[in-house]
Amino acid sequence: MLDQLKGLRTQALSELSEVDSLRGLELWRVRHLGKKSALIQILRSLATLPAEERRRAGAQANEVKTALESGLSEKERQLQEALLASPLKSRQLDVTLPGRPYPIGGLHPITQTINEICEIFGNMGFQTIEGPEVELEYYNFEALNIPPHHPAREMFATLWVETGGGEETTLLRTHTSPMQIRLMERERPPIRVIVPGRAYRYEATDATHESIFFQVEGLAVDTNITMADLKGTLLEFCRCLFGDERKVRFRCDYFPFVEPGAEMAIECLACAGAGCRLCGHSGWIEILGAGMVHPDVLARVGIDPDIYSGFAFGMGVERLPMLRYGVDDIRLFYNNDLRFLRQF
């Protein structure tokens, strides 16, 4: 057995000196140190030998195993080194070359639009605040003159949030208008704020409707605020965003929390006002609802409607870049197709 071990060692080490790749080295390892190799078989069979012979053969076998293992790791180190060195030798490496540019992210077009809206109104003296998306029914409806069973609840297909019994009913806000109330409860006039944020409606989506979309609420309360202030503010906003030439329509509408109420629409870019699928063949796309804050709403938050008056508006954010750049489907903003998003 001692002779056999000696032969194994010579054979293995001579084969090792011929190995010139990591793959070849792995094959060598399996052949000479693997479970089925002659050496490991010998080590396994030692137990069957008489004691004296076992001691000598065992020492010899372990010595061969150690020699093969250190040969293996030395060869591995040599091969790794050679692997690293070869491209450096074969190619010139210019360490002064600039690195490969990594793509850097950009702001989503809706975030860009919100930032722009905040800047335009900021220049007109409006502060930006935010409010909760999970809202109490009271703020979303009752405080805005929309009691249960009021037909206006039909306008807002509501997603209700389940709460344990006894707690106040909550919902995903259907518009940003509840922030009018929250703000007027804690601040006294003069007030001039805008509130960007998500709104949620349980309704089918189409080219101009999403079930989760952004609105920006506006609110100004002070002495002597009139409908002319509302109209002037909104027209100035449209001029800043769309330029002087773009046609804007301002006409009556109904919302229970304003009196009088209005809506504003911008001429459809897709058909230049001629009428198409996108604008429902009207030539106009509605961007916001607005009006003079209802005296009952002011009174409810403890602001005297005989002294103060205010205007409010709520605009849809996605429709603004649609109208500006001719995007013909609101859903494109949320499909996360980078080819589309990178254009903004």
Q: How far is CA 127 from CA 166, 180, 192, 196, in A?
A: 36, 13, 6, 11
CB atoms closer than 10 angstroms to residue 221: 24
Give the strand pairing for 284-293 and 258-267.
antiparallel
Indicate the SS3 state at residue 159: strand
Judged by CB under 6 A, which stretch of 80-88, 130-138, 203-211, 239-247 contacts ligand FA5?
Answer: 203-211
Are 192 and 220 within 8 A, CB to CB?
yes
Give the residue at shortest CB distance from ligand FA5.
Answer: 316
Residues in the chain: 344
Judged by CB under 6 A, which stretch of 101-109, 129-137, 227-235, 289-297 contacts ligand FA5?
Answer: 289-297
Are 293 and 312 within 8 A, CB to CB?
yes
Tell me: does residue 177 bind ligand FA5 (CB under 6 A): yes
Query: What x/- string results for residues 103 through 142 when contact with ligand FA5 is judged by CB under 6 A?
Result: ----------------------------------------
Of 288, 301, 303, 322, the one binding ligand FA5 by CB under 6 A: 288
Provide the token pair at 190.
Answer: 């003069």
CB of 171 to ligand FA5, least distance (A): 14
Comparing CA positions, the residue from 245, 235, 237, 234 lying closest to residue 269 is: 245
Size of the site for ligand FA5 (CB under 6 A): 26
Are 110 and 333 within 8 A, CB to CB?
yes
Tell me: does residue 201 bind ligand FA5 (CB under 6 A): yes
Q: Cα–Cα distance between 53 and 4 in angstroms, integer?
A: 14
Indicate the SS3 state at residue 119: helix
> Amino acid identity, residue 274?
A
> Amino acid identity, residue 13?
L
Judged by CB under 6 A, which stretch of 17-25, 68-76, 132-140, 282-290 contacts ligand FA5?
Answer: 282-290
Of 287, 301, 323, 327, the one binding ligand FA5 by CB under 6 A: 287
Of 175, 182, 192, 294, the one binding ligand FA5 by CB under 6 A: 175
214-273 residues near ligand FA5, rule: CB under 6 A: 215, 255, 258, 261
Judged by CB under 6 A, which stretch of 38-46, 73-81, 100-108, 316-324 contacts ligand FA5?
Answer: 316-324
CB of 280 to ligand FA5, least distance (A): 13
Tell me: does residue 183 bind ligand FA5 (CB under 6 A): no
Comparing CA positions, the residue from 319, 301, 125 lying closest to residue 207 is: 319
Residues in the site for ligand FA5, rule: CB under 6 A? 155, 175, 177, 201, 203, 209-210, 213, 215, 255, 258, 261, 286-291, 312-316, 318-319, 330
